[in-house]
Amino acid sequence: ELKVEQNPLFLSMQEGKNYTIYCNYSTTSDRLYWYRQDPGKSLESLFVLLSNGAVKQEGRLMASLDTKARLSTLHITAAVHDLSATYFCAVDGGATNKLIFGTGTLLAVQP
């Protein structure tokens, strides 16, 4: 059974600081997704990572994928308050592309 774990579960950080969220998964998968969720809102797609060594960047967020280690990271550079949200990684669960989500990381950026 494919399992996805994120850490930390909660991250409080100051504006301007850097930090990394980790996503580990238990079995081989071809695709990994990062989503953002604001309180009471739905999920917004951030990144799709399709191959080993893939790196994608958007603004202050950068995601990478190491399929051999079954690890993805979401790196936050010089955090700003607007980045406060819950971040989920999700792994493609097989032929039907159903997504298996991690438990999420609640990010709170303090001024």
Partner 1 sequence: GAGVSQTPSNKVTEKGKYVELRCDPISGHTALYWYRQSLGQGPEFLIYFQGTGAADDSGLPNDRFFAVRPEGSVSTLKIQRTERGDSAVYLCASSSWTSIADTQYFGPGTRLTVL
The residue ranges that bind partner 1 (CB under 8 A) are: 4, 31, 33, 35, 41-45, 48, 50, 88, 90, 93, 96-104
CB-nearer residue toward partner 1: 37 or 77: 37
Nearest distance from residue 97's CB to partner 1, in Å? 6
Tokens of 70: 């079954």
Nearest distance from residue 78's CB to partner 1, in Å? 27
Nearest distance from residue 77's CB to partner 1, in Å? 23
CA–CA gap between residue 19 and residue 68 (Å, rounded)? 23
CB-nearer residue toward partner 1: 17 or 41: 41
Nearest distance from residue 16's CB to partner 1, in Å? 28
DSSP string, 15-56: TT--EEEEEEESS--S-EEEEEE-TTS-EEEEEEE-STT-EE
The DSSP secondary-structure symbol of 94 reads S
Residue 63: count of CB within 10 angstroms of its CB: 24
CB-nearer residue toward partner 1: 60 or 104: 104
